[in-house]
Structure 1
Amino acid sequence: MCATNIPNVFRELKKLKDFKLKLHVDETVTPVAQRMYGVPYSLREKVTKKIEELESLDIIEPVYSPSQWISPVSVVPKPDSDIELDSESRDITTFVTHAGLYRYKRLMFGINAAPELYQHIISQIFHDIEGVESISDDIVVHGTTKEEHDQSARYIPDLATISEPLRKLVRKSVTFVWGRKQHESFEKLKDCLANASVLGHFSLNAKKTTVVTDANNVGLAAILIQEDSSGQSKVISYASRSLSDVERRYPTTEKEALAVVWGCDKFKLYLVGIPFDLVTDPKPLEAIYGPKSKPNARIERWIMKLMPYSPV
């Protein structure tokens, strides 16, 4: 079921926002306008439908003016390009069909520099994201441990909870059965990726900094938020991870406490040395960190870990 749904993972064909690629053409090369290849009558309807599909997806556009570069149609490439071409670089992609002249609006197969250009652009986009690498047309999220791998996928709020039904399938001694919960989890992750929140930049001059933490039976979550001088709040970073088998046996109060400790440690680079608001479930924490509490050794270690921070 999962494999058959892969071609339809995303509902829309996206492109890089606010970016247009300019192709550099050797001006000493003489442009070539080739004649149209004859399209068999039995295939013309299919070719016409493919042209209409590519045009509706904003992959190609009709050409109404003379073009120095014209190529015949042999095979129409699949519509999977996602880098928009600068208008001045589109003429070289012009092709002729029985339905007229068209040219590509996106980087397409056949451009000899396409692989290098694509790799360079994607590498620039992900260069400052830890645990993310681009290899050709694949984006790899990695880590030295399973926990680091989970943390690298930090742009989906509540990732650990949402993906729990899927992660169950890769555990030892678990039979792979794709059911309703797995399908719902998969669909939810698709929606989260397609509608990912735009993150803000951390500022030491922010009016207020807030850390929100939460825990449930399968994972921990933390959100770093800042409010600027105009009162506008912006999420700086999301973080989540799954609980280990041992941590899942912790009482609810300890899970909530662990979420606070882990959240502060996750955002340590931002939080040390500044006051910040801590938003979490207060009741379990009052029982643990209150003056009348008698914490166990594990809780005492967590209290020590929180000493560098200044929640208000």
Structure 2
Amino acid sequence: MRKKVEKELERLQDLDIIRKAEDPTPWISPIVIVPKGNYEIRICIDNRCANQAIQRERHVTPTLDDLINDLNGAMVFSKIDLKNGYHQLELDEESKYITTFSTHIGIFQYNRLHFGINSASEIFQHQVTNLIQGIQAKNYSDDIIVYGKSETGNLQEARKNHDENLSNLLQRLKENNVTANAAKCSFHKTNLKFNGYIFSQDGISADPEKLQALKDVKPPQNAKEVRSFLGMANYIARFIPDFATISEPLRLLTHKNSTRKWGEAEKRSLNKIKISLTNKVSYFNPKLQTELVVDASPVGLGCLLTQKDSDNKVRVIAYASRALTPVEQRYSQIEREALAIIWATEHFHLYLFGTDFCIITDHKPLETIFTRTKSSPIKLELKDGF
């Protein structure tokens, strides 16, 4: 193992990623060796102590909804993978001492950003965002998506727009000595696979490989396997109608000190999640008629954002759901239905704010919240949410 560590340290020095530490330093961290494939290793730094002295840089990473909103109308895509992403950012000389780490052959420091820094992802996201400013592209960590659009829906126009954006991006990367990993880049695609989703001009769909992996899951044998399955399903929950309610029997199995056993209810829940998977959802168009369909069950809230196109055909934009807390489960049905409306409008705030939309609920008694002069405190609080 020591020979492998020495070889990796030599490689990192040759790439100017680390250097020998010559001066005394108030910070020193241990290394953690992580085995990789082909009998190789990765050297990681346990920066827990040093991280306490690092001031976090708060920079928000784009959400999936942010990305979907930006790619709305895109017809041609390219994805640029930045090689050894973090290591392309050089640290200020005055900051390098904080990254000092010890090995059996001496003490070293990082010249460049590395994964052990608690704010590394925020710093990197911020720097790349600034780098591509003014170019029609979006970055998500070390991936940059370039896309082309056409106001008339013409593919050739979109290709031309895409090529101009791609040329500008590559020139910007060259000017700033940023290197891409050609093996992981993809160019001129009409369908882009990214982070478990497929983007195209028609809408967004879950990666078929992820869908198949979910469908192939065998009945979990313990709480850990149940959590793993729910984690997979939750990642693509925007394609699963009423996910929180139908997954309730499975979630109960993961509760601490739960005495529940796998039974028919859990089996039905598992199978229903698998068969409820939808293939594709559409992009949001603020010019189309928008409807927010909401519902509440004794255990969860659910909503569906839809739009009608010029042919009066309903287009699904997204599904969303969440479980009710133990306190919320004790609400009356009218209170749960009102809560569903408030939660749904907040959840889809990115799409609904500033637009006219219709809320659809199957609970007519909700009208009394707005007409009665006397209401319970919880109802008054819910009313204020509208």
Question: Normalization by structure 2: what TM-score?
Answer: 0.40
Question: Normalization by structure 1: what TM-score?
Answer: 0.49
More strand by share: 2
